[in-house]
Amino acid sequence: MCEGWESIDLTYLDGVFEADELDALSSRLLEVLRNAGLAPDGAVPGGRRSQEEFDDACNVLLDPIALELRELEPRRYGLVYRNEAFDVFEEVHVSPDSDASLDAVLLASWLLRSGRVNSLSLGPMGMITQPLSTVIKATLPLCARTLNSLKLEGFRFSQADVENVLSGAASMEALESLHLMYLPLTAAATLSIGRLLLANANCLKVLAIGPDKLEGGREIAACVCQCLNLTSLHLWCVPFDDEGLTLFHDFLLMTESLQTLSVDNCDHREARSILHALRSNRRLKKAELTVKHEDPESLGEEVADVLSDNTTLESLCLRNLSLPSPENILCVFATLKKNKTLKHFGVGLVDLISGDRDEGETGSPVVAVVRENSTLESLHIEWCMMTNKTMKSLAQALVANPVLKILRIGANDLEEDEESSSFREAVRDSCDRIETIWNNAGLEELALTLPHSRVERLDLSLQVERESAPLLQVLKGLAMNRTITRLHIHGIDCFGDVEIAALADYLRSTAILKWISMSFEIEYACYGIPLIDALAENTSVCRVDFGTFDMGIEACEHFGAMLVKNRTLQWVTQNERYAGSKELEPIAQGMESNYTLLGLTLGSKPPCPAWSRIGRALAANGRRLNRAVDFVLETVVEGDTSRCEEAFRLLSDLESLRKQLAKVTSSSEARVEELIEAARKRLPQAMSV
């Protein structure tokens, strides 16, 4: 029975079976493995066991090299390990309310003591128990020369547990990646970080530090400056005293390897020093600074110096940076239009009304940049003030710019004047190369533009009254558009019944749209039902993101029926945060008859019995289509959409234990497709069992 097996998946057994059933199944599985020569005699997974017995049981698992601990439910933990040869991830869930809490400690201990773990990740949403942090503290020194990646992330770790883990990590000697974000750091933990940085200064390449709470910590900056081989550095809320800031300034001048720099929540003293160093740095490709809101001082001259002197930066993003005067604006944008290396530039708050005082079409500094800069592919201004006259000039400049692909401007309400028609015509002629040039205003102008526009992507960030007439006109204009393939609607709670019906009609009839995403407020979740029904009849949309809302059983039934009828959808995201078996059951039924779906995001908290049915549906479709890897199921922990691109799973057929979980982690769909294709080539023998 087991011939050709390369891995075994016991995912989601806990919660699908009762405890006695699980023990019996585990014993039967071990018997099968033992008969196949894959397990030592005497090891009994399940029930009470000794350390030695548990070690033996763990030995049936193949070559674990990566360990991740993350919260799946309150006080539930997942231990993830990987068989590198097949890019296969396996997951075991344990519950601390019973002997399973001991299992978590023992399994972590065994994995770390095995000497084969090279990556340890705790977080991002979870917490760990004191026994678990204690065993990690005790066993991490055994991985001193093999562990090359350590990640701790989460607001809910206790100070004592953070101290435990960092104390154990202090002996690391081969870390290439260190990620410590949103942690409560005591003085002792800060000292441990300092020692850890110094011990790994020569091998660290990726470093991210961002304390949630910090005692002391100014010495961290000095230790960071000793890591001269860093290629990526992210600092969040890390304080600099005068000496530390001087050291960091010199570090940025000396580093030969750093290519990506991100400093969040810095004051203007720190930002000025960093910008001064960037003038002379010749290695950085990407720099991001986020300046504290409460500091009103302008840095226009410093930014202009960077734009003028640095000849290697390809991306410069300055969030929250204010340019409060015409002099600041002209200083920055006059230099930007001459820059020949930047591909992306982003800046914060800009009052461009002052720039519109000049007569003629080149009054706005932004217009001059768009007209004269020949390298920028993306320009992002968080907030600005523009008249229709300036917008007309901007749109005309865009027509003549063959390079700029993305222009994002958070604009105020456009004024009503005689330039409106000219503005519509200019936007119509230039938007084929732009994602969006408005956020919260100009709906009437947009409604008149859409039927003729060549824009391919439209982002609507709405801040209007519910059931507003311009919004309905936009939807009617959208129905007449023939080029939009991607539609993002933020603030769909502005829609009333009439607007939802109009959007549903559009979804039902469009043959062009490929991707739509919507964000719902909880109280308007019922609006999802007519949109789901419309998608059942759609023949073009490949991807739908519903955002996070609680559909309820009725909407889930419509969702399942849509999966039965639709034949084009490949990716669906619906972060149903509290779904249980009753809600997931109709979705599972729909998946049993769907042959096109490649990705599904459901934000429920596994495990529950419906997951096994979803797994069987995926496995059944895989057999019908005769492919090794056909479906990917993505689960989101606690509705955390930031992890939506990280947890792709091919669920196993739990009844026969004949299928295995293929789980890949990535932030890009291209990488996911690459790994799935690799799995297709590598797994046919194992999948044929």
Q: Is 537 domain-assigned? A: no
Residue 83 pLDDT level (bands cut at 50, 70, 90): very low
Q: Is 436 domain-assigned? A: no
CA distances in angstroms from 172 to 514, 531, 617, listed in the order given: 48, 53, 45
Final residue before a domain boundary, out of 72, 87, 117: 117
Nearest-angstrom CA–CA distance, 212 and 219? 17
Name the domain count of the chain: 2
Given a cut of 70, whether residue 520 has pLDDT beyond it is no
Task: List the domain range (segments joined by +) for residue 83.
Answer: 1-117
Nearest-angstrom CA–CA distance, 11 and 96? 17
Residue 314 pLDDT level (bands cut at 50, 70, 90): very high
Final residue before a domain boundary, out of 49, 82, 117: 117
User: Do the beta carbons of residue 528 and residue 503 sit within 8 Å?
Assistant: no
Q: Which amino acid is at 229?
A: N
Q: Which amino acid is at 628?
A: A
The more confidently predicted of residues 519 and 320 is 320
Given a cut of 80, whether residue 668 has pLDDT beyond it is no
Q: Is 419 domain-assigned? A: no
* Helical pair 497-509 and 469-480, crossing angle rounded to 10 deg: 10
Quote the mean pLDDT of the chain: 66
- CATH at 676: 3.80.10
What pLDDT score was predicted for residue 117?
Answer: 66
- For 473, the token pair is 């006109």
In 392-514 the beta strands, taken as DSSP E runs, fall at 406-411, 457-461, 486-490
- For 527, the token pair is 């609006």
Nearest-angstrom CA–CA distance, 41 and 56? 9
Mean pLDDT across 341-345 = 91
Given a cut of 60, whether residue 376 has pLDDT beyond it is yes
What pLDDT score was predicted for residue 275?
Answer: 94
Q: Is 340 domain-assigned? A: no
Residue 176 pLDDT level (bands cut at 50, 70, 90): very high
pLDDT tens readout for residues 411-454 = 544 444 444 455 445 555 544 444 444 434 567 767 777 887 77
What pLDDT score was predicted for residue 439?
Answer: 39
User: Do the beta carbons of residue 606 and residue 580 sit within 8 Å?
Assistant: no
Mean pLDDT across 300-328 = 85
Q: Is 36 domain-assigned? A: yes
Q: Is 649 domain-assigned? A: yes
Helix, strand counts (H, E) of the chain? 23, 23
Nearest-angstrom CA–CA distance, 531 and 142? 55
Mean pLDDT across 273-294 = 88
User: Do the beta carbons of residue 145 and residue 174 sit within 8 Å?
Assistant: yes
The more confidently predicted of residues 69 and 546 is 546
Final residue before a domain boundary, out of 52, 85, 117: 117
* Structure-token match 């000219």, residue found: 422
260-264, 462-466, 681-685: the lowest-pLDDT one:
681-685
Q: Is 670 domain-assigned? A: yes
Q: Is 592 domain-assigned? A: yes
- For 613, the token pair is 């049915």
